[in-house]
Structure 1
Amino acid sequence: MQAYSKGGIAMKHEDLHVVIAGGGSGYTPGIIQAVLHNSDRFPVTKFTLYDIDPVRNEDMNVIIKYMLKHDGYDNIELVATLDPKEAFTGADFVFSQIRVGGMEMREKDEKIPLKYGLVGQETCGVGGFSYGLRSIKGLLGVVGYVQEYAPDAWILNYTNPETLIAEAIRRQYPNAHMINACDMTISIEETMARNFGYDRKNWICQYYGLNHFGWYTEIYDKKLERDVMPELIKKLQDAPMKIASFNKGDQSWQDAWNMLSEIVRMFPDYLPNNYLEYYFFPDLVVESTDPNYTRANMVMDGRLKRTKEMAEKIRHHADGEILDFDFGEHGEYIVDMACSILNDLYDRFMLILPNHGAIPNLRDDAAVEVPAYVGRLGAEPISMRHDIPDFHKGLMEAQNAAEKLLVDGYFEGSYQKVLQAFTLNQTVPSADKAKKVLDDLIVANKDYWPELK
């Protein structure tokens, strides 16, 4: 077994054991596929699916077992377990994609705010804060298990909302080997590239913000040898993008791309993350949302249903092509990060990290999303080297303050701090509505949130 030092700790270089926390997720096959496609530089011999939902974890166990056999990887060990000690002992990498409360709680995150005329969304607005309080508790548990059973393992986190997660983990486990990443920026980039005839692999992107709350300042194309962002902005102003294959049949994504063009027409200097629609146009979002059938219902009737049907087809030995996955770059992105750590590649990724001067005129302890190089010692953020505009800075400072208040409220069990966070959230027009929706969400999340006093 080859090994290298990770901050003074020996780490394996082959015969890797990868744990997927949230193994029952419908995104698990895409991550497994990406690992298999990179077996030459990321040699895995064991996968463990860890989840607290026995039904979903077993469905995914059936699917992944079939996939490994179908693709000729019978030699890879596969374990599905609900036991954290069994799951994490001996792990080298942990890919986290947990969803605390499942789609049932996501539905409440979306529908309870809508009852008060507020944005109902899983990571943005007060629904995102509701999800965040659940996710903090859930991921602190996962990181605690890793510290106990596999303290040398790297944790690569996809669990949302990312900046809230990053802030909470930094406070409780400051020395954890953990990288927080979101695939939304690469989904935007991949959709633009496919729509307008570019190759995203040639792009070097400059970007800054908070998670789901940021802007591109440059997209340099190495092949074309120029910044293509101005022409992308012009194309988006002229017409919205069409849905890429990995979002096929999902009208909500077409609505998102339509709104992205509206943002670019109004604020044409930079290319925004499409999630900013919830902060710029919360009234329009609420008006166009069906309060009885939200995004959670779409996912339950779409991806979750298809995943269940695939597992049943395998159990009943159905004929024909059973596996049907297209996740875009979701799986590849997290596996590329793992490869960059393992092989000290110093590849570039968009990550959520403590600011520490990366954005010079923003507070040092903000959890920001910026480009970073990743190698054996982790992530090193790339400095912007210039101040950001007051418009973006003001938006980010308010959002970051709300997020920090929410994390304060989690650790202190403070109703007042959480109410302040809800009131400061830029999708909320009044403290009265903030209090009403908070009180309803406390009841809905009684089994998941810390007690607030």
Structure 2
Amino acid sequence: MNENAVKVTIAGGGASHTPGIIQALLESQAKFPVAEIRLYDIDEQKNDDMYVIIKGMLKAFKLENIKLIQTTDPEEGFKQVDFVFSQIRVGDLAMREKDEKIPLKYGLVGQETCGAGGFAYGLRSIKGLLEIVEYVQEYAPDAWILNYTNPESLIAEAVRRKFPHAKMLNACDMTISIEETICRNFGYDRKNWIAQYYGLNHFGWYTSIYDKSLKREVMPEIIEKLQKQPMKVASFNANDQSWQNAWNMLSENLRLFPDYLPNNYLEYYLFPDVVVKSSDSNYTRANYVLDTRVKENHQLAEELRAGQRADFDFDFGEHGNYIVDMAASILNDSHERFMLILPNTGSISNLRHDAVVEVPAYVGRIGAEPVALKEPINNFHKGLMEAQDAAEKLLVDAYFEHSYQKALQAFTLNLAVPSADKAKQVLDALIVANKNYWPKLH
């Protein structure tokens, strides 16, 4: 690794979140001096659009000395790079739409990372991410993989089993999005926070938020504010009603369970009937993303090709900064603190040791050093986590063993699925929809 000229590959380079990561890279040159960026994607058109956008960003930042490559070839994409940022979406938004709409036909939660749809996405993502890890092992065995690909608990479990020594960190930006939205609503600064949190990915709780500038605990007052009134969407989710609905449900969750600040995704597990009732089975989140971010990125690329656009006024929240800060902490061995998804090797004393949990960890040159909770977790959270973790492990079993029975058990145990009958119906429908992506189950 050349610490003064880092090479980065973005796997899933054509994704709509790529400009946010690039912006963070360009603004972090002092601590993370990137010399080469490679956009790797199997979708040539989307990758080409993103190449045009990133070229424009390099020009606007006066950093055209940074080498930019676009490719669909794995060797060109990964050979001798230092870091791989993975944000692949196997099956793209067309399959996400099916993940969301098929469960709704059976009265189940339709969501890309939670419930039956999340498990469908998981069986596709495992194959895609394992392929990325194989490429890195072959072409850049010393590279660090920083993974944003969902569903992260399933990804982390599968990679742990097949590549136990892979240099890989799994991170989700949802906790920082929650924190950033709270701060923009109520006037805090998350850079001053020391947060205590535990759970599974998209399935956890804050137990403490200490504000260093105020020199006190602030979580109780945040909970009180949220109980009185839901927070408003931040500018990086502006005009997105689905996110406003999520913040409304977060406040409803807190009215019933006020002791801890929950991850907003818990609505899909604790209030699945409410979510289904409020869902539009004809127009889901996938349709919204297609009509907004995807179209906007393509339009921006076309304007740049025609020489009609030179400004870049983006607000991506903390999504890009988070993964770049993590890479910089590895590069500089600075041991900054992040929320990471990793095996429970003692962080939660009364949870099985091989559960894939999300907890704070310090990151340096040798990877993650997770924080151990001071006390065992309560029985309510423990029971929820144990059931969902077991369901996820069964699904990973089903992937490697090609087992229909294990898949059925996984869908049945998933907390967003209320019965074995519904589990079988939706599993069989998703098998048909994913025939080109899932392993053949028997």
| Counterparts of 2:316 and 2:33, CA distance in 1 | 22
Among 332, 348, 355, which residue is 1:343 paired with? 332
Q: Which amino acid aligns with 2:371?
A: I
Among 323, 327, 332, which residue is 1:334 paired with? 323
Q: Structure 1 segments of 4 or more deviating over 3 A?
A: none
Q: Which amino acid aligns with 1:122?
A: E
Which aligned pairs between 1:210-359 and structure 2 lie closer than 5 A? 210-319=200-309, 321=311, 323-359=312-348
Match in the other structure for 2:32: 42
Match in the other structure for 1:6: none
Which aligned pairs between 1:107-118 and structure 2 lie closer than 5 A? 107-118=97-108
* CA offsets 1:279-309 (integer angstroms, 9 cap, x no match): 0110000000000000000111011111111
SS in 2 for 1:46: strand
* CA offsets 1:373-395 (integer angstroms, 9 cap, x no match): 00000001000021000000000
Asked if residue 90 in structure 1 is aligned to residue 80 in structure 2, the reply is yes
Q: How many Å apart are 1:325 and its aligned residue?
A: 2.3
Match in the other structure for 1:198: 188
Identity %: 71
Q: How many Å apart are 1:319 and its aligned residue?
A: 4.6
| Counterparts of 2:56 and 2:179, CA distance in 1 | 32
| Counterparts of 1:41 and 1:349, CA distance in 2 | 17
Do the aligned partners of 2:60 and 2:310 also contact (CA within 8 Å) in 1? no
Match in the other structure for 2:349: 360
Match in the other structure for 1:67: 57
Q: How many Å apart are 1:327 and its aligned residue?
A: 1.1
Do the aligned partners of 2:26 and 2:61 also contact (CA within 8 Å) in 1? no
Q: How many Å apart are 1:69 and its aligned residue?
A: 1.2
Where in structure 2 are there 5+ consecutive unaligned residues?
none
Please report the TM-score for the alignment, with normalisation by the length of structure 2. Answer: 0.99
* CA offsets 1:99-150 (integer angstroms, 9 cap, x no match): 0000000000000000000000000001000000000000000000000000
Q: How many Å apart are 1:12 and its aligned residue?
A: 2.5
SS in 2 for 1:371: strand
Where in structure 1 are there 5+ consecutive unaligned residues?
1-10
Among 150, 154, 157, which residue is 1:167 paired with? 157
Q: How many Å apart are 1:151 and its aligned residue?
A: 0.1
Please report the TM-score for the alignment, with normalisation by the length of structure 1. Answer: 0.97
Match in the other structure for 1:373: 362
Match in the other structure for 1:27: 17
Match in the other structure for 1:179: 169
Q: How many Å apart are 1:316 and its aligned residue?
A: 1.2
Which aligned pairs between 1:125-164 and structure 2 lie closer than 5 A? 125-164=115-154
SS in 1 for 2:38: strand
Query: How large is the RMSD of aligned CA atoms in angstroms?
Result: 0.7
Among 383, 386, 390, which residue is 1:394 paired with? 383
Do the aligned partners of 2:101 and 2:110 also contact (CA within 8 Å) in 1? yes
| Counterparts of 2:320 and 2:258, CA distance in 1 | 32
Asked if residue 53 in structure 1 is aligned to residue 43 in structure 2, the reply is yes
Asked if residue 17 in structure 1 is aligned to residue 7 in structure 2, the reply is yes
SS in 2 for 1:214: strand
Match in the other structure for 1:416: 405
Q: How many Å apart are 1:324 and its aligned residue?
A: 4.1
| Counterparts of 1:429 and 1:319, CA distance in 2 | 51
* CA offsets 1:339-390 (integer angstroms, 9 cap, x no match): 0000000000000011011000000000100000000000010000210000
| Counterparts of 1:396 and 1:283, CA distance in 2 | 20
Q: Which amino acid aligns with 1:32?
A: I
| Counterparts of 1:442 and 1:130, CA distance in 2 | 8
SS in 2 for 1:12: coil
Match in the other structure for 1:425: 414
Do the aligned partners of 2:246 and 2:264 also contact (CA within 8 Å) in 1? yes
Among 417, 424, 448, which residue is 2:437 paired with? 448
Q: How many Å apart are 1:74 and its aligned residue?
A: 1.0
| Counterparts of 2:61 and 2:219, CA distance in 1 | 39
Paired residues, what number? 442
Q: How many Å apart are 1:402 and its aligned residue?
A: 0.1
SS in 2 for 1:309: helix
Q: Which amino acid aligns with 2:439?
A: P
Do the aligned partners of 2:300 and 2:309 also contact (CA within 8 Å) in 1? no
Q: How many Å apart are 1:241 and its aligned residue?
A: 0.2
Name the stretch that deviates more: 205-214 or 13-22. Answer: 13-22
Change (3 A) 1:390 1:73: same
